[in-house]
């Protein structure tokens, strides 16, 4: 997916998702499920929260400087943008299949 995100950190998370086919497929399936059950606006919000939780759990616990920097860098990730991009991708796929 080619997107211009508002931060390099957001782009890095999206690249992490897309780098692994199973991970990418999982997030697309979650986006599709959220869209079907919640509608677009609520689906983006729910998916954004789930993305934040998943990324936070993936990061190692660190002490010292790294322990201070990691949470700050995480706040620069716009999870809402990523969720919106994933929702847009599955919505586009469903529209194309229906045509």
Rounded mean pLDDT of 49-75?
93
Per-residue DSSP letter, 75? T
Position 73 in a domain: yes
Q: Which phi and psi (to 5°) does residue 15 adopt?
A: -65, -35
Q: Which of 16, 6, 20, 2 is nearest to 75 (CA)?
A: 6
Q: Which range marks the domain in which residue 66 is found?
A: 8-98
Number of domains in the chain: 1
Q: What is the pLDDT of residue 99?
A: 47
Q: What is the pLDDT of residues 69-94, one digit of tens each?
A: 998 999 999 999 999 999 999 997 66
Q: Which phi and psi (to 5°) does residue 22 adopt?
A: -65, -40
Whole-angstrom Cα distance, residue 85 to residue 31? 10
Position 62 in a domain: yes
Q: What is the pLDDT of residue 95?
A: 57
Rg (CA), the chain: 14
Q: What is the pLDDT of residues 24-50, one digit of tens each?
A: 999 999 999 999 999 899 999 999 999
Position 1 in a domain: no
Position 3 in a domain: no
pTM: predicted TM-score of the whole model, two decimal places: 0.87
């Amino acid at each position: 997916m080619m997107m211009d995100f508002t931060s390099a950190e957001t782009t890095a998370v999206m690249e992490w998702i897309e780098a692994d086919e199973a991970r990418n497929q999982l997030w697309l399936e979650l986006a599709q499920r959220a869209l079907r059950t919640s509608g677009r606006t609520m689906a983006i919000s729910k998916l954004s929260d789930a993305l934040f939780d998943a990324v936070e759990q993936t990061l190692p616990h660190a002490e010292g400087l790294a322990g201070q920097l990691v949470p700050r860098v995480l706040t620069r990730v716009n999870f809402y943008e990523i969720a919106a991009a994933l929702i847009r991708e599955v919505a586009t796929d469903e529209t194309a299949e229906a045509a």
